[in-house]
Structures are given as structure tokens and as C-alpha cells.
Structure 1
Amino acid sequence: MAELVLREDKDGWTVLTLNRPEKLNSLTVSLFKELRQHIIDLRDDDAVHCVVLRGAGKCFSAGHDLGDIAEGEDVPSAGWHSETLRLMEKLPKPVIAAVHGHCYTGALEVALAADFIVAADTARFGDTHAKWALTPVWGMSQRLPRRVGIATAKRLMFTADMIDADEAVRIGLAEYAVSLDQFDAEIEGLVARIIANSPFSHAANKQLLEATDMRPMDAGLQWEVMETAGIGPDMAERIAAFTKK
């Protein structure tokens, strides 16, 4: 049986690819189990300094497999999907969702658990929970308003409208969009710029941003000072390399 999530290790970074192209990478419990194991494996892999999450074939993912829902899913525990995405969100290294084509509902919840989304110009986003009389349990109600604001989140959730890459960028859902023919090169260039910097700082900054998100400014400033991770083990080497230029 083909792997449902492929892992490809590159020079200092890893690509995880949702791999059900014949089903538009629709999300099943089996696929999530493989995704979860990759996330666990990556957490303590010091050779990996950045993770890119993609979809095989025509799109990122069309979302939660409705056939699985209708048949009744064998989920390991209540909240297991949400917990899996939280594990990805808390990886101590940058995680980029590289989205092309469809990214609907459950797939959008997956993409939102990455640190940010980069979209190809073919990307289309939407939350269709209301279309099927469903409610989110993978994080949509929490991550979407934090990304785009509560009013925009309500609009997307109430209407089940599909939006294109340009609109996703306009509302802050995606960071930026590039043409599909330049997409791979853009992702590789972005990753190169990220992994050129300190993995210590990346891990510390993710933890700092997570801990202070939506706190009052004074509380966040106090946290930044008191809970600082300090100086990384690669600081001296990096400064020395710069001063020798």
C-alpha cells in the first residue's frame, strides 16, 4: 500500500506530502496517523531545520473525506485530530504550508496549524462546515479568527464561500501568492533563507510567540524579558563568521 504521507529529507529541511492524489488528498484517519508519526519523528530530529507541508497531484487537499465521516470514523480518541495538529503547530522549527489548488475545511484547518501559508495562484480556500451541517473540531474556530480577524472568520464560516489566492493574501490568510510555475522555486528559496538562520532562535521565537499570543502588551513584554531563552550555542560561531567577511 502506498504511503499516505510522504517524507522527503533535503539539505537541512523536510517536505511532508499528503499523498492521496486520486482522492484529491482528502483526509482520513489513516492519513492522519501517518502525519502524526512524521510529526513525532521530526520533533527531535536536529538535522531538520524547517518543514514544508504540501499535497500531491492537483491540490493541497480537498478536505476531510466525507465518505469516512458518513461511514463513521474509528478515531483513536476524542480530540485526536485536533491534538495531532497541535503537535505540528508546536514543532520547535518553522512549518510552512505550501498550498496549491483546493484547500477546503479540514485541509484549511491543517494548513492553519502551520506557521504560515504560501499560496500558488491556483489556490482556493474555504470553510464548508456549515454546508454539511458540521461544526469544527480540528481548530478552525480558534486559528482562523486569530489569522484573519473574527469578523472575516465569521463571513467565511457563515457563507462557505470559496476565495482565491489573491483574496487569501488580502485578508491575511496566506502570506503571499506566486504563480504555479514559480511555486517550487519560491518555496525552496524561502526555506533557504529560513534555514540560513539559527535553529535555536527559530525554536525560541516560536515558543515566545505562542506563549504571548493575544496577551496584553505589558504582560507579553514582561514574559519576553523573564522567560528569554537567552543566547544560542551557535551565536559565537555566527558572529565570528560575519566579522571575518
Structure 2
Amino acid sequence: MAKPEASTEPIVRTEQRGGVRILTLHRPAARNALSSALIEDLRRELAAADDDDRVDVVILTGSDPAFCAGLDLRELGATGGNAERIADAEIPVGHPWRPLSKPMIGAVNGAAITGGLELALACDFLIASERARFADTHARVGVLPGWGLTSRLPAAVGRGFARRMSLTGDFVDAATALRVGLVTEVVAHEQLLPTAVEVAVSVVGNDQAGVRTLLDSYRRAEEHLVDPALLVEDETSRAWMAEFDPSRVADRRAAVVGRGRAQNQG
């Protein structure tokens, strides 16, 4: 069971606009880092949205200044827990949540780092603020992905660019993300949520049975490539975690955060 957050304020904010459900990661002081509690709340809210007949499209975003800074390194370094492995029988290997039957748009308002990048990649497509930044810092921290990054990132940006991101840990800005195909559009920061809602409303205006059947067809057409890749990642991550020393994360945390901030501001 996840330890409750100290604040009584919800760490996943929800808003309904017509047929669009907006979910906002809300740990701004921690740059929306993924604590166990945040992951559990997000999964619960996504499942509720998928089961709610009022909802046709879900938008996932974050409270400024970040989209999601990845796993909470304080929690990971202190406990040695792997938040990506919070048990839930309904969640298939390589997924951060139970896959939705409805379209999910990621509105990336700031840095999407490591586990945060994996959340973004699990959306059906992404729209980015000009302030968005993307990085895979698994190798910097000394942990391995478990939510499908090694399958979804190369599918989005190509084999070479994906390996460059993962092996260097360097940040990619919004313009580059658009150029390589990670996001579908980059807009002024204040226009991010209005733009995402506008696109979502376009989807809502279609035949919803057709939308969901088409989305399912896209996913099933990819299964012969995606599912084996997700199993390889899971096997690799489990073997790595069997030898995992949480003190390595604690030791590297300050250097990882400092290097990331320097690049993100550069």
C-alpha cells in the first residue's frame, strides 16, 4: 500500500469539459515526480475515466513547471522500491496503467523525464508546449525502464535517435521532439491545454464506437512487434532489479538532478 501524501490536496486533479476528462499530475514542488501514491492515484483516475460513459477522450498533463520528472528519486533511494512495479493484475507487462479503450492525449507542459517520458509515450499522441523537454535518464540513475520505453521510444523517433536519448540521457527540446516525430504539434505554453482540448473535441465529435474500434485496430496491428519487445524489456528490468542497490540512486541523485537542470536551462 502506498504511503499517503502529506498534503490533503489531490495529487491528480480532475476536470470534465463535455466529453473530455482532463487529468493533471499535481505535485508541483516535486516537479510531479512519481511517488507510489501518485502512480496509484493516476491509475485509479484513468480506470474511472475509462469506465465513465461521460468520457470520450482523456487528456493527461502536469502542473507547471514540469509534466513529470520521473520516479521520485528520494523515495526510490530511501526504500529501494521500484515504483514501476506496483502490483496490479489488470495492468499488462510494459504498461504504466491498464490500457484505455478511449483515446488519450498527452499535453506536455514541461520536462518529461525518464518515467515521465514513459507516461507520455503511453499516450496515443502528444501535443507539446514550447517549454516541453524530454529526456531518458535511466542510465544516469542506474535503473532500467519497465513501462515500455525501449519499444515505444524507437517506434516514435527511430532506432538511432532513441538509442542516442537513452545512452546519453541528454535533453531534447520541443522543436527537436517535433522534428523527430515524438510530438505532433508544438504551441505557445498558454495555448497548450486549449489546443489539446480543441483536438479532443474533434475526436468527441466523431462516432465513438468507430473511434474506439479504430484505436483498438491500431493497437492490435502493432501487437506482433510491441508485445515481444515489452517482454524483453520486462525480463531485462527484473534481472537488473534483482541486483539493484538503492544506495546507488541515493549517491547519484544530486549529480543527476544538477546535470539535468543545467541542460534543461541551457
The alpha carbon displacement at 1:90 in A equals 2.3
* Structure 2 residue 103 is the aligned partner of structure 1 residue 94: yes
CA contact (8 A) 1:29 1:73 kept: no
Name the counterpart of 1:199: 208
Structure 1: stretches of 5+ with no match in the other structure: 217-245
Aligned to 1:238: none
Q: Which of 154, 158, 164 is matched with 1:149 structurally? A: 158
Q: Does 1:135 align with 2:144?
A: yes
- Give secondary structure in 2 for the equivalent of 1:60: strand
Task: Report 1:1-245 matches (<5 A).
Answer: 1-72=8-79, 78=85, 80=87, 83=91, 86=95, 88=97, 90-213=99-222
Contact kept in structure 2, 1:89 and 1:113, CA below 8 Å: no
Deviation at 1:118, TM superposition (A): 0.5
Question: Are 1:89 and 1:114, in contact at CA under 8 Å, matched by a contact in 2?
Answer: no
Q: Deviations over 1:176-225 (max 9, x none)?
A: 11111322321221111111111111110111111111759xxxxxxxxx
Root-mean-square deviation over aligned CA pairs: 2.3
Q: Give per-residue Cα distances to partners, 1:40-77, cap 9 Å, x unaligned.
A: 21222111000000101212111111001101255689
Greater CA drift, 133-142 or 73-82: 73-82
Letter in 2 for 1:160: G
Unmatched runs of 5 consecutive residues or more in structure 2: 1-7, 226-266
Quick one: higher RCO (CA 8 Å, sep 6+), 1 or 2? Answer: 2
> For the residues of structure 1 that align with 2:187 and 2:203, how far apart are their CA atoms?
18
Greater Cα shift, 205-214 or 83-92 = 83-92
The answer (yes or no) to whether the contact 1:89–1:115 under 8 Å persists in 2 is no
Offset, 1:86: 2.9
TM-score scaled to structure 2, two decimals? Answer: 0.75
Cα distance, 1:17 vs. partner?
A: 0.5
Identity %: 32
CA contact (8 A) 2:47 2:98 kept: no
* TM-score, structure 1 normalization: 0.81
Give the length in aligned residue pairs.
216
Distance 1:77 1:112, change over 3 A: closer
SS for the counterpart of 2:91 is helix
Tell whether the 8 Å contact from 1:29 to 1:74 is kept in structure 2 after alignment.
Answer: no
Q: Which amino acid aligns with 1:141?
A: T
